[in-house]
Amino acid sequence: MRFTTKATAAAAAFTAALSLTVLGGAASAATPAAKSAPVTCTSATTKVTVEQVSRPINHLLLKAKNTGTKTCYAYGAPLLRFDEGQAATGWLEASKPQAVVTLKPGQTAYAAIGTSSPEGTEGSQAHKMDVHFSNRAMNGSVGAPASAKLPQEGVYVDSSAFVTYWQTSASDALTW
């Protein structure tokens, strides 16, 4: 009986202390840390652009610049959809980096897009590309898609198209 009373009193004291922390000055000290905690990169906090490159052939360079005020994580690889495609472009597993790409405000992540190859079939000229950001579990996307402007004449994309995982440099992305 005595243990139960002490346990109840301890629980009440803990609850009161927790309430005071949340309502009092300690909460304001914790708030800046919470505000600076990294978030998942989304189209709302990044600017996405696409650039044609001369080498390797049949490649594009996708850039995602953190325009937000918080550090963000670019998980996995971008989920790409060309025009009204039925499925996302496949990820190149060999390009998986050792760590998640972390972008401080103003920093950029890079991914290479292989658009076609001699082995590819069922190709067509794409004029639009949507970019979705992967969630932490890399089994879906977060936020609304970003629209990436492709060259005016479009880009030939076939069944062999792929995208690399996010990389910290353009040269790392384009090695694939």
Among 54, 83, 81, 78, residue whose Cα is nearest residue 64:
78
Confidence of residue 74 (pLDDT cuts 50, 70, 90): very high
CA–CA gap between residue 9 and residue 100 (Å, rounded): 45
The length of the chain in residues reads 176
Write down the pLDDT at residue 87. Answer: 82
62-88: buried (b, 16+ CB within 10 Å) or exposed (e) per residue?
Answer: bbbbbebeebbbbbbbbbbbbeebeeb
- Look at 2-11, 35-44, 120-129 and tell me which has the smallest mean pLDDT: 2-11
Tens-digit pLDDT profile for residues 99-154:
999 999 999 999 999 999 999 999 999 999 999 999 999 999 999 999 999 999 99
Q: CB neighbours of 2 closer than 8 A, spacing ≥ 6?
A: none
Residue 10 binned pLDDT confidence (cut-offs 50, 70, 90): very low
CA 136 to chain centre: 8
Q: What is the dihedral of CA 61, 154, 81, 111, to 10 degrees?
A: 0
Under DSSP, the state recorded for 125 is E
